[in-house]
Every structure is written in C-alpha cells, then in structure tokens.
Structure 1
C-alpha cells in the first residue's frame, strides 16, 4: 500500500507541475505591471513588432495632416522618421509606457469583462515622434494631434470564461506550487525504498516539465491559428513568446532538476552496490 500510495503521489506531482507553473505565471508574471512591462520591453527591438508600430502610427499620422499637394512627400518623411525613431531610446521609453497602459487595460478586461482584445495604445509613441519631427524641422509636424491609436496584438473570445480561469489561477498561484512540493516530499517519505522513490519523483518532475513544454507550444499554435486575418502573425507570435518566456524557462529548470535528482539517486544505488 505504501508503494502504491507513493506511485499515486508521484503521478499527481507530474500532473501538477504544469498547472503549478501556469498558476504562478498568471499570478506573479501577468498580474504584475512591472514584470509584464519588463517582459514586453525587449519587443521594442523586434523587427515584426516594429513594422506593425511603424505601419499603424504612419497611417494615423498621415491621416491627421492635410498637406495638400505636398501630401506624398510629407507621408514619405513621416515613414522615414518613424523607422528612424523606432531605433532610439526615446521610442523604447514610449513603448514601455504604452505597454504599462496595455497591462492596465488587460487586467481591467479580466476583472470587469470589458473589451475583447489585448491592445497597445500608441499615443506615447506618436507624442514622441511629433516632437522629434518638430525638432528636426519637418514641415507640418506641429499640426500632428496626439490621439489614441490602439493596435490589436491579441484577441480573445468568451471573455467571461477567460476571466474566471484567470481568477482561479491567481488564487492558486501560491498554494498550488507549494502543494506540488509537499506531495513530492510525501511520495518519498511514505515509500518503502526511498532512493527509488527519489529517482521516480525526479522522473515525475521531468515528465511534468515535458507536459508543460508541450502545452505551451500547442497553445501557441492554437492562438496564432485563431487570430483574425488583420492581425500580424509574426508580431503576435513574438508577443506570445515574450509573455510565455517564464513558462519556457520553468520547463527547462524543472526538467534539469528532475533529471539531476533521478540521476543522483541512481548513482547512489550503484555506488552502494560497489564492493
């Protein structure tokens, strides 16, 4: 009975590893504005994301300027200025400000049920571009109004279900990882052969890590396949990869810890048998 109980606990540990990682990620990564902004910040240098920002901001800016017969030249100047601006520290600062605002809107959607997409307001970017253009003496740049321009990078259906699921993950964000560790310790404690139990628990952790990695990849494919045609898929893929970077790192860390524990227990057994 002790062996059976230990095996059941190890199986539970393997199943709880992905659930624990996702719960902790939802509570401490997605739910925290500073961590969210830090995760999204490197996307300011991503070419696919930059193309979306430049294209959308260019359309918004050109539509706000009536340059008459000089419209074509002004639009070309705006495009060049935006692409040049996308590589500056000022752009990265504006990008971080836009993502912090997007995080606030995202959490508001999950708590109030308003909205159906993850969007980024490019108003801070447009404001920075305007004053860069004015400083460079670009004609008509002072006429650019700073308006709110939301770029949709993720869209989600059935927001009510998503809101309930996110709330459950936040509640489980602390106790579920602790429960996983407690069950792993219990599986070793109740076993008749504890060295074998350590080895089996390590393999269980490794299996759980593999399940987590598979889940992240499958969800990526499903998310991108369900996107509307007007959303840039390379940019959305970059956003997904940034948001789930913690889960990918967790996959490799747990896999390494599990395999190291299993290997250590196996080597201890071999050493004890050596005369």
Structure 2
C-alpha cells in the first residue's frame, strides 16, 4: 500500500473514531445513567431539596387545591396565602421527600418496563402506592388524622402511546449502541494509528478530534437544554425544569469534560514528543557536522607531523 493510500485510510479511520466517541458517550449515558434504576434514583433524590423544584411543586399543589376549594371572593386572598404557606411547609418535611422519591421511581419503573416489553397503550402510574407511603410516613411522625387519609387508585399518564412507540425504537438502538459504539471507537483509533505513515501525527489528530467531538457534544447538551425549556407548556416552571435537566445530564457533562481533557492531553503529549524528537535530531546533526569539520583538520595535522619527521 502506498504512503498516500495509508494516509487516507488512517485519516478516515481516525475521523470515524472521533465521531463515534461522543455518540458512544451519549448512548452509554442514556442506557446506564438514565435507564439504570439505582443511578436514576441517586440522581433525582437530591432534587427534592432543590429550592426551584420545591417552589414549583408547591405552586402546582396549591393551584390544584384552590381549584377544588370554593370560597367567597373576599376570603380568597387569606385562604390562598394559608394554603400556599402550608404546602411550602410540607415540602420541607420527610414525608414530602418520601413522596418525591416514590413518585419518581414509580414513573421510572413504569416507563422502563414499557420500553423493554411490547405492550401497547400509554404508560400510567397508580398514585395509590405513593399515597400509602406518604400516609405511613405521616403516621410515623404522629401527624394528627394521618390514618384517615384515603388511599385511592388514581392513575396518571406518564407517557402517551405514540411517544412510547418512538422511544421504544430508540431504546432498542441504545441497547446495542451503548456497548458497540465505544468499542468501535477504540478499535478504529488503534487501527488508524497503526496504519498511519507517521504515527505521531495520527495520535495528534486523534487527540484533537476527540477534544473537538467532546466540545460539540457539550454544545449539543446546552442547545438541548435551551430547546427543552423553550418547549415547556405554560405553567411549568423553567427554573425547576432546568434544575432537573442539569441533574439528569450531569454524568454526560462529566463525560464531555473527561473526553475533552483526554483529547487535549493526548494531543499535547504528541506535540511535545514531536518537538523533543526534532530537538534530538537537530542535536545529532549538529554533532555529526562538528565531527566532519574536525576530521580534515586532524588529518592535516597528522600529515604535517609525518613530513616533519
């Protein structure tokens, strides 16, 4: 294979590897970061204490209560204030955190079960289990009349049927891509470096390409955040949704930084090694030139000595 063909093949392999690296990170995050129950629970649990999330939940619960309570116009102000303060106070209790974790995990489990089987129809969650856990928590805290809280079966739709079909197809793709894309990226990188005519340049290109791919993935995350918040329906708190988005993508953003740091480190090492190699060659050439310059002088001195003898 000619040098030109080897260079073109190496460039193609390295380019493909640098494209697959961020895609592999994205796939792995979606499958193992969001799809894994334990990791998802560890991600969403701290959000219960987030001020923006608490305010959004308090506002939503308050509005729901006030829609069901009919009071005289002159009493609406005091009643609204009382209900809002009571709900905000509740968001600071252990019962609220229990409700938050139970509701989130129930929704997550329902969605993951629906994605892994072939069931049709929307994904629903029965809030009876959430109510039961909150009731037990309030009873343990000696809340008056906690045992009289009714536990009723109230199903809410988490995911529509059409959305489920689209997500199921994407989920099956992620199950394959989450393993094979990172593996393929590594294999293609090694192949591109081995085929290259100048392996140092190939390593430099790999580092720069990996860093560029990580930077583009970071930009995509930021753009996705902006689009997500822009498309929110009216009445949904953007600050709370932003806090949830940031929490869910924290692992992916960390992977971006790691890929960026790895790419810059590899590129810097290849660049410095090239500078050092050129310096060594320059020193060797200079030493050889001095040796050649000294050789005729030494030969002339030897001839003069023999003539004098």
TM-score range, shorter chain: 0.7 to 0.9
Give the match's secondary structure for 1:231.
coil
Distance 1:72 1:230, change over 3 A: closer
For residues 45-76 of structure 1, give each alpha carbon's deviation from its aligned partner in whole angstroms, at most 9, with x where no partner exists: 222211222233345566788999x9998875
Distance 1:216 1:135, change over 3 A: same
Match of 1:100 in 2: 105
Count of aligned residue pairs for this structure pair:
271
Give the match's secondary structure for 2:92.
coil
CA distance, structure 1, for counterparts of residue 112 and residue 66 of structure 2: 32
CA distance, structure 2, for counterparts of residue 78 and residue 194 of structure 1: 69
CA distance, structure 2, for counterparts of residue 32 and residue 84 of structure 1: 32
Distance 1:230 1:148, change over 3 A: farther
Distance 1:270 1:80, change over 3 A: same
- Name which of 23, 31, 34 aligns with 2:38: 34
- Name which of 122, 133, 143 aligns with 1:115: 122
1:7 aligns with 2:11: yes
1:231 aligns with 2:231: no
Match of 1:19 in 2: 23
Match of 2:307 in 1: none
Larger mean Cα displacement after TM superposition, 227-236 or 186-195: 227-236
Using the TM superposition, give the Cα deviation of residue 15 of structure 1 relative to its aligned residue in structure 2, in angstroms.
Answer: 1.3
Match of 2:224 in 1: 219
Q: Does the aligned pair in 2 maintain the 1:199–1:262 contact within 8 Å?
A: yes
CA distance, structure 2, for counterparts of residue 36 and residue 225 of structure 1: 24
Using the TM superposition, give the Cα deviation of residue 162 of structure 1 relative to its aligned residue in structure 2, in angstroms.
Answer: 2.6
Q: Does the aligned pair in 1 maintain the 2:126–2:156 contact within 8 Å?
A: yes
CA distance, structure 2, for counterparts of residue 76 and residue 123 of structure 1: 30
Map residues 82-231 of structure 1 onto 2, 5 A cutoff: 82-111=87-116, 112=119, 114-115=121-122, 124=130, 128=134, 131=138, 135-137=142-144, 143-147=148-152, 158-231=163-236
For residues 49-104 of structure 1, give each alpha carbon's deviation from its aligned partner in whole angstroms, at most 9, with x where no partner exists: 11222233345566788999x99988755543432232344433332222211211
**Gaps in structure 2 of 5+ consecutive residues:** 284-309
Give the match's secondary structure for 2:197.
coil
Q: Does the aligned pair in 2 maintain the 1:56–1:151 contact within 8 Å?
A: no
Using the TM superposition, give the Cα deviation of residue 160 of structure 1 relative to its aligned residue in structure 2, in angstroms.
Answer: 2.2
Q: Does the aligned pair in 2 maintain the 1:224–1:237 contact within 8 Å?
A: yes
Q: Does the aligned pair in 1 maintain the 2:132–2:151 contact within 8 Å?
A: yes
Using the TM superposition, give the Cα deviation of residue 186 of structure 1 relative to its aligned residue in structure 2, in angstroms.
Answer: 1.2
Distance 1:114 1:52, change over 3 A: farther
Match of 2:297 in 1: none
**Gaps in structure 1 of 5+ consecutive residues:** none
Match of 1:258 in 2: 263
For residues 23-58 of structure 1, give each alpha carbon's deviation from its aligned partner in whole angstroms, at most 9, with x where no partner exists: 111221121111111111121122221122223334
